[in-house]
Structure 1
Amino acid sequence: MDPVLELVDVSKRYGGVRALDRAQFACAPGRIHALLGENGAGKSTLIKIMAGVVQPDEGRIVLEGTDRRFVHPQHAVAAGIACIFQELSLMPHLSVADNICITNPPTRLGLIDRRAQRRVAEAALARAGAQDIHPLAPVDSLSLSRRQMVEIAKALSRQPKILILDEATSALTAADVQRVYGLLKRLRDEGLAIVYISHRMNEIAELADECSVFRNGRHVATFAAGSQSDAQTVEMMIGRDIAHAFPPKPPPRAAAETAPPALDVRGLSWGGRLHDIRLAVRPGEIVGLGGLDGQGQREFFLALFGVLRGVAGEVRQGGDPVSAGSPRQAKRRGIGIALVPEDRKTDGLMLPMSVRDNLSFAALDRLSRAGVVIASVEAEATAAMVRRLSIKAPELGDPVATLSGGNQQKVVIAKWLMNAPRIVLLSDPTRGIDVGTKQEIYVLLRRLAEEGAAVLLYSTDYAELIGCCDRVAVFFDGRILRWLAGAELTEHALVASALNLTAETLH
């Protein structure tokens, strides 16, 4: 079958960094083509060129047999290419319908036809399998998962021939993921060409017809989905073999059981969303938070970090009660809590600012004297963090927005490690990053625990909870429903507990 879109010998440089080096890619109608590779491999640059967001320095774009050049994203949209980027493009203070129709609203007598716009939005939401979202709801009233579904509906409203998705399921709940799987298969059967970027190998196995692997800006291989094992695919992606995904867990230590908890939560409740949470984490432990998305895990982290008001209950450290009425208080030396949020772009980084500024921002009081940052101390501390986390940044003075997603996530984590925290809260820290960087983060978490930190990890990835955590607290409806550890910590038990079922029910 002839390709509908081809990129031939495409190259792109950003300063001294070559993001793409004579890259090749082709996708055909009625096929789902997966793009695989580590963060920084060139995938995002490739799809930005397809979508008209950036211009190639060299090479050709061939659409339906004709050479094209998209100097603006609207040119690509007009040609039938719709792209859903990992970073949402929605305007939060506008309604769902406004966002879906924002580039081409229906008009009547020179004004936006609100009734027609609502009908367009309803049709797009229905096609995306998200008809439960009200078209007049403000986007900022929706959860991250629901916003992602609006983004998908917005792309489908443009009636594309080619649909490009960059980590489109990374923010979705399990129910929405299944809806998107069904939608993409239906669109493929309707003849769309779909380009799909994901770091979740189970998604690739579920959806892809073909796979193309990129590494260091170059095309490595294209093959039929299923013709290569996961291990072979990963080796192509990172250029080396991964012997195991998770570092070994240490054996339980009897002394740790008698040591005062680094964090002891007693009866924590908040606003009808959290109910009588009781949890203790000792130094050196990695404790997971499981359960379906939206069961109170994120609110629990925000309560501990001093973001929420009206929190009831008691929090103790080392046996002594503490009170964190704000993030500023939570991160101070006496308490020492760090929170790595799930949305690094919005909540974790200041994208226009430099890598150095982002690294030092949370630790300015440690790097300053009389309110003035000591440049030599800052330079030494940030350089040490770059080495510790192997952050790949051409210059620390470059905007953090220029880094790959995996390196941005490393900056978010390093920012908080600058404070030498005693308690580290991580909310889905590997969402949307490549397998190689994931393994580096797993090793880092275990090292932090070995150094005496108490680590709380919320993850929507069951394998991550099983592989990383010493114990897992399963949340259900704002409560801890069950604790799992040792031989009980299995995927069956996690799923059953998340659904408030017994493990035997799933057999």
Structure 2
Amino acid sequence: MSSGRTPILEMKGVSKRYGGVAALSGVDFAAYPGEIHAVLGENGAGKSTLIKIASGVTDPSEGELLVEGRPVRFRKPSDAAAAGVVCIFQELSLLPDLTVADNLSIADPPKRGGLIDGRAQMRRARELLARVGCEDVHPLQLARDLPLSRRQMVEIAKALGRNPKLLILDEATSALTAEDVERIHGVIRRLAAEGVGILYVSHRMPEIEALADCASVFRNGRRIETFAKGERSVGAIVEMMIGRELTHQYPDKPARDPAAAAPVALAARNLAWGRELRDVSLDVRQGEIVGLGGLDGQGQRELLLALFGVLKGVGGTLEVGGRPVRLAGPRAAIRAKLPLALIPEDRKTEGLMLPMSVGDNMSLASLFRFKRGAAIDRRREGQAIDAMVAKLCIKLPSLAAPVSTLSGGNQQKVVLAKWLMTGPGVVLLNDPTRGIDVGTKQEIYRLLRELADGGVAVLFYSTDYAELIGCCDRVLVMYGGTVARELAGAALDERALVSAALNVDASRERAA
């Protein structure tokens, strides 16, 4: 896209094969100084393989890499970082039991007299945190004590500490609040103005439109097209990504007869837990998709954990399938008369055992259903796994492959399969489409509607307002740890959601 200039990173005819599967095929690609280059495509399109090769995580099977015109071969990520290519992966690399300051300087700590200079390390940590607008994080906090959004910000600060010439961001804003996203966009623009090249991998099209100078679309391991900002419509880009015309993004909602209300599957009354939850009451009926909205951090995640029995010391009452229950933990939730399932926020750390096989991950939560005496009926287990792979269209080399080798979208499908195999009557979802491509999102939306049509009750937290409007029959908007407003029908629109999230009266706002 930038004639007359030498790329920071260039790929020529790069291919990568895993056995008989081609993850990349003959890709030519270039990233230039001062340019924000978006990399787009469905999960499994080759984006992850591209950035793994660029950052030294894996070797190409064929082709050549050049940095500033010089041929290179990265044998490990530290080789790429030494050449100025630094990647922030979707899977965070922070060590949970170290402090923020230790994590920020772990690759090259400041030293004095052969020992780590603690004061210099603290100064460096404060400078890097300030650079990403994250002064509220104390350098001596343990990484594991930070919420996911703050861990992501620390990860970005850590990358900036390596003074990159090319910074690669793989879904780096997917766990961030809207305020943090704006901060990071400001950092990215400043870096580009200073001559740093940016590769920006994201499924959030509004971010791409606002931020990127150009974009490359990948599909089935090939680069389909590279174009400048404004040259392609969002619809054209999406069609390029999925290889077909995009039809209805969300399934049609069924018409409901208020006089024929379905039985209540899940009822909570006056739930309270610490400062995060206060006096939360809600009903979710069989066959209904109920959304949880509101600004991030208003108790939505804690509510889902409380309903699934993860949190201890929760006040209030809970009924499942019309019966009072006191869930002693997730095991009790899974084995309730009307079983509950929770699709967690972070599939990498909370949903999957990454070194284990795809098949073992899928059946992990439902092994009790396949017991025959003291043994597991492997034939029945295998049949259930095969049926779920077909139902969710999971793309995988084999059931024996480590789940870590799958694309992000297929990993998320494995998490869904794992919990659907427990036979739930109530499904709780915590932002399940975060970091997922457009095509896979559509599949998940259809799956949720199919579950609801089959009588399952769905409670669905999302940070995406369009998703809540498109998928949900009703939305409960949380503010300050409680349900502030319920929106449904014609009242369920983006203006009303934003107003409710800010705890302002939308009708008064319109009148004014």
- Output the TM-score relative to the length of structure 2: 0.97
Shift of 1:333: 4.5
Asked if structure 2 preserves the Cα contact closer than 8 Å seen for 1:256 and 1:282, the reply is no
**C-alpha distance in structure 2 between counterparts of 1:199 and 1:225, whole Å:** 16
Shift of 1:420: 1.4
Asked if structure 2 preserves the Cα contact closer than 8 Å seen for 1:19 and 1:217, the reply is yes
> What is the 5 A alignment of 1:102-141?
102-141=106-145
Shift of 1:16: 1.8
Give the corresponding residue for 2:448. 445
Give the corresponding residue for 1:159. 163
**C-alpha distance in structure 2 between counterparts of 1:119 and 1:76, whole Å:** 26
Q: 2:377 aligns with which of 364, 374, 379?
A: 374
Shift of the 111–392 alpha-carbon distance from structure 1 to 2, 3 Å rule, reads same
Shift of 1:211: 0.3
Give the corresponding residue for 2:396. 393
Give the corresponding residue for 1:199. 203
Asked if structure 1 preserves the Cα contact closer than 8 Å seen for 2:341 and 2:426, the reply is yes
Shift of 1:185: 1.1
Give the corresponding residue for 1:145. 149
**C-alpha distance in structure 1 between counterparts of 2:147 and 2:323, whole Å:** 36
> What is the 5 A alignment of 1:486-501?
486-501=489-504
Shift of 1:399: 0.8
Give the corresponding residue for 2:44. 40
3-state DSSP of counterpart to 2:140: coil
Asked if structure 2 preserves the Cα contact closer than 8 Å seen for 1:269 and 1:312, the reply is yes
Give the corresponding residue for 1:210. 214
Q: 1:223 aligns with which of 204, 223, 227?
A: 227
Unaligned runs of at least 5 residues, structure 1: none
1:239 and 2:243 aligned: yes
CA deviation map 1:433-467 (0-9, x unaligned): 11000000000000000000000000000000000
Asked if structure 2 preserves the Cα contact closer than 8 Å seen for 1:256 and 1:283, the reply is no
Asked if structure 2 preserves the Cα contact closer than 8 Å seen for 1:145 and 1:173, the reply is yes
1:80 and 2:84 aligned: yes
Give the corresponding residue for 1:464. 467
**C-alpha distance in structure 2 between counterparts of 1:307 and 1:373, whole Å:** 27
3-state DSSP of counterpart to 2:486: strand
Shift of 1:357: 0.6
CA deviation map 1:125-151 (0-9, x unaligned): 111221221111111111100000000
**C-alpha distance in structure 2 between counterparts of 1:69 and 1:336, whole Å:** 52
Asked if structure 1 preserves the Cα contact closer than 8 Å seen for 2:84 and 2:164, the reply is yes
Which deviates the most, 417-426 or 366-375? 366-375
**C-alpha distance in structure 2 between counterparts of 1:41 and 1:290, whole Å:** 31
Give the corresponding residue for 1:407. 410
**C-alpha distance in structure 2 between counterparts of 1:332 and 1:256, whole Å:** 29
1:26 and 2:30 aligned: yes
**C-alpha distance in structure 2 between counterparts of 1:400 and 1:255, whole Å:** 46
Asked if structure 2 preserves the Cα contact closer than 8 Å seen for 1:329 and 1:335, the reply is no
Shift of the 380–48 alpha-carbon distance from structure 1 to 2, 3 Å rule, reads same
Give the corresponding residue for 2:360. 357
**C-alpha distance in structure 2 between counterparts of 1:112 and 1:335, whole Å:** 56
Asked if structure 1 preserves the Cα contact closer than 8 Å seen for 2:213 and 2:228, the reply is yes
Q: Partner letter of residue 202 of structure 1?
A: P
3-state DSSP of counterpart to 1:262: strand
Shift of the 373–9 alpha-carbon distance from structure 1 to 2, 3 Å rule, reads same
**C-alpha distance in structure 2 between counterparts of 1:38 and 1:435, whole Å:** 7
Asked if structure 1 preserves the Cα contact closer than 8 Å seen for 2:321 and 2:337, the reply is no
Give the corresponding residue for 1:309. 312
**C-alpha distance in structure 1 between counterparts of 2:344 and 2:75, whole Å:** 35
Which deviates the most, 146-155 or 314-323? 314-323
Asked if structure 2 preserves the Cα contact closer than 8 Å seen for 1:322 and 1:335, the reply is no
Q: Partner letter of residue 249 of structure 1?
A: K
Shift of 1:323: 1.9
Q: Partner letter of residue 327 of structure 1?
A: P
Shift of 1:256: 4.2
**C-alpha distance in structure 2 between counterparts of 1:397 and 1:5, whole Å:** 35
Fraction of identical pairs, as percent: 62
**C-alpha distance in structure 1 between counterparts of 2:38 and 2:260, whole Å:** 46
Give the corresponding residue for 1:295. 298
3-state DSSP of counterpart to 2:264: coil
CA deviation map 1:29-60 (0-9, x unaligned): 11100000010111011111111111111111
Q: 1:16 aligns with which of 16, 20, 24?
A: 20
Shift of 1:318: 3.3
Give the corresponding residue for 1:432. 435
Asked if structure 2 preserves the Cα contact closer than 8 Å seen for 1:466 and 1:491, the reply is yes
